[in-house]
Structure 1
């Protein structure tokens, strides 16, 4: 997937429910970053939302990752620590590029 295909896929998420839209956006960003040998890790609220099967709701996607430039290439604008995509109303925050916890506890969500 290239940037243009990814942008198109992001826009196609616009009418999806919030949870599905965030999962889709996280998947698209992950696929693009993996091409650069960057493996982003979803942390924070979205990881809790996934774990609790939507019993908890969040308003943004938190990644531990490098690769900020790809997020901006997808049409997200940076506002402080947050990247926001106006058209699909998704916010992404990258609080760190290093996971403080154990890598052995990661679960791959497919």
Structure 2
């Protein structure tokens, strides 16, 4: 289980660093998003949020892990509730908008990835 959490953390961190360095990657992913990628991403957020909640008791920053876990679960559940088309339009609006906003989202991804890595 620890190795899986570590691998997920490394993947999220690496992808987020790429998005910070080259926001065009986020645009490409947003434009290529299909329903399978959408559902995978939404459920991945929910599962990572549940991992954060499960490990929050064992970490010194338990409140941070609780808040991030709840936030990820809510975001994933909202994406599932909103549906593919609405969420895709929202994502495309963000990635085609301000490039700095895309970089901030990448920075949040780096934070989440580092927290997952530190959780192992």
Task: State the TM-score, normalizing by the size of structure 2.
Answer: 0.31
Say which structure is richer in strand: 1
Relative contact order, higher structure (CA 8 A, sep 6+): 2
Task: State the TM-score, normalizing by the size of structure 1.
Answer: 0.33
